Amino acid sequence: MVRTLLLSLALLLTLRLNADTLDGRLRLLFPGEEAGTVTDRQYFEKGLENIFRQLRYTDRADRKNTRKRLALIRGRFTRQVFRQYDPSATLTDGFRHGTYNDATASVLLALALEEFSIPYESYVDHWECYLVADPAQSHTALRHPGARPHDPEAELRYRREYVNLVRQTIGEDLGELSPEAADSVFYRYYYRPGRSLNFLQLSAYQQLRLAQTAYANGHFAEVGETLREASLRENRRAFLVLARAGELQLSSLEQPEVEGYVTSLFEFWQEEPGNDYLAAALLRHFDTRQQVFLAADDPDGARRFLKDYLRRAPDGLEKWAGELQVLQQLRLLNYYQQKGQIAAALHLAEALQRSEPGNQRYQEYFAELMLVELRRSYDDPAELARRAREAAKQFPFLKAHDRYTDIMLRQRALLIRDLFAAGRETEGLTQIHDFRTLLTDTGNGNDRPLWTLTAFVAASNYYFAKKDYAPARAYIEEALRYDPANDFLLHQQDLLSRY
């Protein structure tokens, strides 16, 4: 273990010396030469270079001023990579699935700014990080697409909750703290919002975000492993706090909480039903213990635990009871999704969505799982599209989801392919027209480039076989307007230019 740690540290020290090059950055983000690491590094590099190529040759970003270059960079990533927020996203997930979080978005944008010679600074502001591009001139803040303005009260709650975590993990006797002293503890053990980070520190924060997600999902063993990687890049107290919290949770799996402590909290709460501190403490304790049940693959135990808590609470606290129930639904939803039990997860997502029809996050959970379940249930593209349209009549928000777009584009593209393969030109041209409308009227979709290529290449091949080269070239040119860096399409364009 010690030898491995020393080797890793030596590797990181070497990478720090060469980290100013793109190759050095990539080896910093994906250190090591194991097969999986090399594959991820190469995949990430290819996706990044594809974006850079489009910015350079399609958008002509090199020829623009800084303000326009920033707009082009932000636009490319927002359209092609930052499509769905996911706190557990890794660096490669942006190119694989279009998912991102604040840390992965900041790392990707930082690499793009460096590629196009735009200075920047990075910051951590409470629960998210962001960049400031061109700090000496335009001072443009680059936050992830899902970022929202911070509520000062929410920031205050975040700092106070974090100080409580420090009390529970570090063992330092903090005593009674004034508001100013509490904030001082927060900044000492976390990040100062006004202090910028270098790229090495930003990459360490990205590892911290992975550890935070692992902790939230009850994967406590992963917390320490991920934070060891972060601590090789930077020595920061925030890593120690979360690592200790993970260790305490792991030990609780073998040493269950003393029931007398919880009983005393409920007894005090019965005497003081308005005590918000007791309500919050029991809520946190409930969530910790239900994650222990789920980590042990005992969802029924988690449900029994919920009933016990609801029974012991003071009467008339419907809001608290509702928070407990929603918290369990969200944990169970995540549990079933990770286990591949999509039907059970979908049932919970639908219940959440019906409880708050306007809640966009619940709509997103439900839409994702509903469309995944449809894909699993119907292999035929036409039947799948019909079922998706029927579902969208009942739940119109499905139409805004990338998976819905993919289903519709897939069905139409495969139909176009089959029609032209069968020589049914008139019907194929009608479907091409409708396909263009779909491309205009629907969202991006995760597989939009694939189905665009399928449809237009099928038409191009049909006319090429007939030696009618003008429309064959035109369909490839049209496909390139939607996917200008596609190597296959560029090859076809070059081939057809000779006819």
What's the confidence (pLDDT) of residue 119? 93
| pLDDT at 258 > cutoff 80 | no
Strands 140-142 and 128-133, how do they pair? antiparallel
Neighbours of 489 (CB within 10 A): 23
- Mutual angle of helices 237-254 and 152-170, in 10-degree steps: 60
What's the confidence (pLDDT) of residue 415? 94
pLDDT classification of 13: cutoffs 50, 70, 90 = very low
| pLDDT at 157 > cutoff 60 | yes
248 and 289 Cβ atoms separated by less than 8 Å: no
What's the confidence (pLDDT) of residue 187? 92
The per-residue pLDDT of the chain, averaged, comes to 85
Give me the DSSP letters along 16-75.
HHTTTSHHHHHHHHS-S--HHHHHHHHHHHHHHHHHHHIIIIIS-GGGS-HHHHHHHHHH
DSSP code of residue 236:
-
What's the confidence (pLDDT) of residue 1? 36
What's the confidence (pLDDT) of residue 12? 44
| pLDDT at 33 > cutoff 70 | yes
- The whole-model pTM stands at 0.53
Element (H, E) at 142: strand 140-142
Distance CA 269, CA 271 (A): 5
Q: What does each C-alpha distance from 32 to 40, 206, 227 come to in angstroms?
A: 11, 17, 17
pLDDT classification of 361: cutoffs 50, 70, 90 = confident
Q: Which of 151, 119, 26, 98 is CA-nearest to residue 449? A: 98
Region 231-247 average pLDDT: 86
| pLDDT at 20 > cutoff 60 | no
Query: pLDDT digit string (tens) for 410-458?
Result: 999 999 999 999 999 999 999 999 999 888 877 777 788 889 889 999 9
Residue with tokens 């594809």: 50
Buried b (16+ CB within 10 A) or exposed e, 305-330: bbeebeeebbeebeebeeebeeebbb
Provide the residue type at 313 as one letter. Answer: A
| pLDDT at 8 > cutoff 50 | no
pLDDT classification of 248: cutoffs 50, 70, 90 = confident
Query: pLDDT digit string (tens) for 44-103?
Result: 999 999 899 989 888 888 888 999 999 999 999 998 999 999 988 999 999 999 999 999
Distance CA 470, CA 404 (A): 34
What's the confidence (pLDDT) of residue 21? 67
What's the confidence (pLDDT) of residue 190? 94
Distance CA 202, CA 329 (A): 33
| pLDDT at 7 > cutoff 60 | no
381 and 389 Cβ atoms separated by less than 8 Å: no
Query: pLDDT digit string (tens) for 173-218?
Result: 677 888 889 899 999 999 998 899 999 899 999 999 999 988 888 7
